Amino acid sequence: MKKPILYIVIPCYNEEEVLPLTSGMFLDKIHQLVAADKISDNSRVLFVNDGSKDKTWEIICDLAKKDEHFLGIAQSRNRGHQAAVLAGLMEAKAKCDITISIDCDGQDDIHAMDKMVDAYLDGCEVVYGVRSKRNTDTFFKRFTAEGFYKLLAAMGVEVVFNHADYRLISSRVLKEFANYKEVNLYLRGMVPLVGFKSTSVYYERHERLAGESHYPLKKMLALAFDGITSLSVKPIRMVFFAGLFIMMLSFIGIIWAVVAAFMGKSVAGWASLACIVCFMGGVQALFLGVIGEYIGKIYLEVKGRPRYIISDRTWEDEDD
Ligand code: UDP
Ligand code: MG
């Protein structure tokens, strides 16, 4: 059997401190897998520069000059982690048989790649890397992240628990995945939708080797929000049922008010009225907010703007 070509896809944003440390590790991994006769020597490490403001792109270009196993593409500006991974995967899919996406900071154990490739050779088309322990994450990060997975599951979004964006995807699956055109990207929720045989491998998550996280709470919350609203319409449905429930309550309230009036028991009920008005006002504002969030998403989807724009490559493109 022909040995598969592997592309390791690595998004990089302001990573000049870690890249010199981790690039060698990725290259070694390719060499090891080639030596173990599992993948072809045409396998590559593909860096995606996500509009970094530091020397990241220069480092990538240097690496590409020194060793043919290194390739790089650059996004025309910073578009976020998800778009960077997508750009890399779409770029790689025509050139290889399997891709593995991984962060460039060395937090995810690269030795899990052996198990991923084995699973592929056994017939799996998608292999999820799952964190077995989160000891090195702060309690806060662990707590928020795990709570978020549970919330997603409750909202009916199919996700693999404790799986981030470390995964193997075959190019066969990527060709189908390319038809998922949404601009609101939440890759880890979208990949399971494509189907095909999949499995998980477990690994321990380490500390960042250098530099600092580019996922502050604000970006994490934004990703969480995108994850729910771009993959699930449950919140809108919940709004509908809550609205129905509140309508029934007000109906009872109206009957009560009319009956009380006929029985001559009505007093100057300012307090109860004020409460009801405030409550209804609040509920309506909240519901409009949820619906507005979806309309905003529809607006972005309808425009159908490109999800990524590649401005540079470390190699000459044959088509140009
Ligand atoms: N990243 C990116 N664009 C961004 C933010 C992050 O390409 O706008 C990359 C980053 O270089 C890293 C990966 O996404 O390879 C994960 O980021 P980070 O390690 O900062 O997040 P954390 O592991 O703390 O969640
Ligand atoms: Mg990280």
Q: What is the pLDDT of residues 192-241, one digit of tens each?
A: 888 899 999 888 877 777 777 777 778 878 888 888 888 787 888 888 88
pLDDT at residue 259, rounded to an integer: 82
Q: Which residue has the higher pLDDT, 142 or 45?
A: 45
> Average per-residue pLDDT in the chain?
86
Report the pLDDT value the prediction gives residue 107, as an integer from 0 to 100. 85
Highest mean pLDDT among 63-77, 178-192, 230-244: 63-77
131 lines ligand 1 (CB under 6 A): no
By three-state DSSP, how is residue 28 classified? helix
pLDDT band per the 50, 70, 90 thresholds, residue 116: very high
Residue 215, ligand 1, Cβ within 6 A: yes
Helices (H), 81-194: 81-92, 112-121, 139-154, 171-177, 187-194
In this structure, the residue with its CA closest to atom 23 of ligand 1 is: 213
Distance in Å, CA 111 to ligand 1 centroid: 20
30 within ligand 1 shell (Cβ under 6 A): no
pLDDT band at 284; cut points 50, 70, 90: confident
Query: Do 121 and 36 touch, CB atoms closer than 8 A?
Result: no
Sheet containing 198-204, strands listed edge to edge, beginning at the edge strand earlier in sequence: 198-204, 126-133, 163-170, 98-101, 6-12, 44-49, 70-75, 310-313
* Mean pLDDT for the stretch of residues 106-113: 88
CA of 274 to the centre of ligand 2 (A): 50
pLDDT at 266: 66
pTM: 0.77
Residues 6 or more apart whose Cβ sits within 8 Å of residue 202: 112, 130, 131, 132
Largest CA distance in the chain: 92
Helix (H, G, I), strand (E, B) or coil at 131: strand
State the DSSP H helix or E strand holding residue 31, giving kind and residue range, or none if neither.
Answer: helix 19-35
For the segment 241-270, the average pLDDT, to the nearest whole number, is 78
Q: Could you tell me the pLDDT band of residue 318, with boundaries at 50, 70 and 90?
A: low
Out of 21-25, 104-108, 134-138, 242-246, give the one with best mean pLDDT.
21-25
3-class secondary structure, 174:
helix
Show the tokens assigned to 287.
């519901």
Q: What is the pLDDT of residue 5?
A: 93
Please tell me the distance between residue 314's alpha carbon and the centre of ligand 2 in angstroms. 25
What's the whole-number mean pLDDT along residues 263-280? 73
Task: For the chain, give the number of residues.
Answer: 320
Q: How far apart are CA 14 and CA 27, in angstroms?
A: 20
| CB under 5 Å of ion ligand 2: residues | 103, 105, 107
Give the H or E element holding residue 101. Answer: strand 98-101
Q: Which residue has the tokens 């996406």?
A: 101
Structure-block tokens of residue 132? 């077995």
Under DSSP, the state recorded for 4 is P
pLDDT at 136 over 70: no
How many Cβ atoms from other residues are within 10 Å of residue 196's Cβ? Answer: 15
Q: 36: CA distance to ligand 2 center in Å? A: 28
**Atom in ligand 1 nearest the alpha carbon of residue 11:** 7
Ligand approaching nearest to the C-alpha of 81? 1
At 174, the pLDDT band (50, 70, 90 cuts) reads: very high
Long-range contacts of 61-70 (CB under 8 A, 24+ apart): 61/314, 63/19, 63/23, 64/314, 64/315, 65/314, 67/27, 69/27, 69/30, 69/43, 69/44, 69/45, 70/23, 70/27, 70/44, 70/45, 70/314
* % of the chain exceeding 90 in pLDDT: 39
Does residue 273 register a pLDDT over 60?
A: yes
The protein residue with its alpha carbon nearest to ligand 1, atom 25, reads 215
Between the two ends of the chain, the Cα-to-Cα distance in Å is 33
CA of 104 to the centre of ligand 2 (A): 7
State residue 133's pLDDT score. 72
Q: State the pLDDT confidence band at 267, using cuts at 50, 70 and 90.
A: low
Query: 108: which DSSP letter?
Result: B
Atom of ligand 1 nearest to the CA of 208: 19
What pLDDT sits at residue 96? 92
| pLDDT of res. 101 | 95
Share of the chain above pLDDT 70, in %: 95
What mean pLDDT do residues 253-268 have? 76
3-state secondary structure of 218: helix
CA distance 48 to 209: 19
How confident is the model at residue 242, as a pLDDT? 83
